[in-house]
A and B are shown apart, each in its own frame.
Chain A
Amino acid sequence: DIVMTQTPLSSPVTLGQPASISCRSSQSLVHSDGKTYLSWLQQRPGQPPRLLIYKISNRFSGVPDRFSGSGAGTDFTLKISRVEAEDVGIYYCMQTTQFPRTFGQGTKVEIK
């Protein structure tokens, strides 16, 4: 199984300031079709996960442009350019390149 490791596990951020979350996979996420199926999910308190970013850097429909994704191979980053109160929650990276689908352990974003 591909192990997804996120850092940090907790990220206290001041409103309006940037936040960055890293995700590393135990093996390359490049699929046989040449694409990299790395997604980022947001889970607000009491809610199911919500898709933010797919294929490293593609924002899903309705996701604000303050969210961006980057990376390649085994190292990936989610950035929030200016954190807003509604961004509080736990963020997960997830790979759908191989089976089984696997998730990072989550990074909690909270307001200082």
Chain B
Amino acid sequence: QVQLQQSGPGLVRPSQTLSLTCAISGDRVSSNSAAWNWIRQSPSRGLEWLGRTYYRSKWYNDYAVSVKSRITINPDSSKNQFSLQLNSVTPEDTAVYYCAREGDYDNSGYNAFYFDLWGRGTLVTVSS
């Protein structure tokens, strides 16, 4: 059974760095048919895709323009996990953060590009 286990602090001070980790069981972060995403959810912004990392003979990243200057998503093959770092946070970054898998193919082998697996979420509050 594939699972995503999130970890990281729930409180971050303004101007500091938000750091979360998503540990994968039952799949590989280096899979050639999945991408590993971070999404956040807040009452003001709703669900907001932040970025992803994926491996296709080499590592790639895609980031949302809104956070591109502040975000880093790194894979760690040795621990089979991936991480989110968001720098220079403000109270507007307060949200529930989710990691999620985007599968390229469905069970029939057809292109799917669906978010089929989500972590349980981590509430991160930015406050002094």
Contacts and interface: CB of A to CB of B under 8 A. Distances in A.
Interface of A: 33, 35, 37, 39, 41, 47-51, 54-55, 58, 60-61, 92, 94, 96-97, 99-103, 105-106
A55 B112 contact: yes
Interface stretch (B10-18, B75-83, B87-95, B113-121): B113-121
Contact of A105 (B46, B102, B119): B46
Nearest to B115: A51
Nearest to B63: A100
Contact of A103 (B46, B106, B111): B46
Contacts of B36: none
Contacts of A58: 106, 112
Contacts of B119: 48
Given A54-B113, A54-B114, A103-B49, 7 more contacts: A39-B114, A39-B115, A94-B47, A96-B102, A99-B62, A103-B46, A106-B47
Contacts of B107: 61
Q: Which of A50, A51, A97, A105 has most B Cβ within 10 Å?
A: A51
10 contacts: A35-B111, A39-B114, A47-B120, A50-B118, A51-B116, A96-B114, A100-B49, A100-B64, A101-B115, A105-B46
B98 interface: yes
A10 to B, nearest CB: 15
Contact of A41 (B37, B48, B49, B115): B115
Contact of A92 (B47, B62, B106, B121): B47
Contacts of A105: 46
Contacts of B106: 54, 58
Contacts of A49: 47, 98, 115, 118
A23 B37 CA distance: 23
